[in-house]
Structure 1
């Protein structure tokens, strides 16, 4: 069985455009079969984006970990000045869409890659793939920690019933801190800072 967090290029393509209004701006995004939340931008991602806007990310290098079709990178590139966003996803179909959506909405070239994290960042932001299981999800948290510069921040969103408290504990063990930023409709957004 194929999932959005696998290499699923063998799935039949069925590209479509969706619109996403975030505050006063409307984004036109392309999605397809085999990507997460293909019909609309999910509530977790929307909640995560709102939390991001409470931080000063201007001038930052941002990693969109598990970028999907690029929503987080596209929106943060619009909302903050002089940011560089690099997205990573294991799903090459999602990465193709993310690059297309980034170009369509920001006019910039390809910033999303089918690979593990490479480089150092000021921020790592993710709506992690819960269905891969805790072990794999927590390995992404480890990658986030290793990819952050000193003083950098890791932000993630997770449903309360999908293990928010244990994810927070994992981050406290890893970073020495993890603060709950927002709660919205069962979605908890956390931030951990690397010292």
Structure 2
């Protein structure tokens, strides 16, 4: 949450600009990313995001990958660094975050990162991997609608990894995913976070002409 009642999931945050930088230091890479007020975790790499990036297997080397709720880009840029031949879609509703993510990708020479508003991703694109620290605080109905919208765009053998704090409902989210027909298992658990692995299982994909 930002000042003046604004949220990081607002499309155009009203918080006054306060530029800064965050260092993303992982065993296999080091990124210095520009940040600003009005975006998610502008002062440090969010602990849940760190757990996600240190726990998940390498993404598919090619195809389309998705960072859902990209913020200023730590997940998207890590995906692009680990899979340089893939196209990484960095998706958010926050326009300030998208501008930062695009700038950070260019500064890092990661030109296959495509920062896009949630409503600007071509409908035909399907993802072989989704990584996300989802915005739990938008509330369950909005969260469930968001996850359904994007998980339905996984390829038949695609996999999603979602990091969720235990006290913010990781176990209930895992149950809900299972009730919707997804194969949802716990891939990692560390500190106050759980990483959920989500695959299509027996769930069928909606037709390409269906509204999402």
- TM-score > 0.5 by shorter chain: yes
2:159 corresponds to? 153
Q: Secondary structure at the match of 1:157?
A: strand
CA distance in 1, matches of 2:171, 2:178: 11
2:7 corresponds to? 3
Pick closer, same or farther for the CA change 1:180–1:171 going to 2, 3 Å: same
Pick closer, same or farther for the CA change 1:175–1:3 going to 2, 3 Å: same
Q: Which consecutive unaligned segments of at least 5 residues does structure 2 have? A: 202-212
2:208 corresponds to? none
2:194 corresponds to? 188
| Match for residue 170 of structure 1 among 171, 176, 181 | 176
CA distance in 1, matches of 2:91, 2:59: 22
Q: RMSD of the alignment, in Å? A: 1.7
1:143 corresponds to? 149
Greater relative CO (CA pairs within 8 A, separation 6+):
1
Pick closer, same or farther for the CA change 1:84–1:24 going to 2, 3 Å: same
CA distance in 1, matches of 2:145, 2:104: 28
Alpha-carbon distance, 1:110 to partner:
5.7
Is residue 122–residue 148 contact of structure 1 (8 Å, CA) maintained in 2? yes
TM-score w.r.t. length of structure 1: 0.92
Q: Which consecutive unaligned segments of at least 5 residues does structure 1 have? A: none
Q: Deviations for 1:41-65, whole angstroms, at most 9, x for unmatched residues?
A: 111001111222x245222411111
Q: How do 1:106-121 residues align onto structure 2 when only pairs under 5 Å count? A: 106-108=109-111, 111-116=114-119, 118=123, 119-121=125-127
| Match for residue 31 of structure 2 among 27, 30, 55 | 27
Q: Which portions of structure 1, spanning 4 or more consecutive aligned residues, are displaced by more than 6 angstroms?
A: none
Alpha-carbon distance, 1:25 to partner:
2.4
1:12 aligns with 2:19: no
1:77 aligns with 2:83: no
Q: Deviations for 1:85-130, whole angstroms, at most 9, x for unmatched residues?
A: 0011010000000101111113416611122354211112210111
Q: Deviations for 1:13-43, whole angstroms, at most 9, x for unmatched residues?
A: 1111221211142211000010010001111
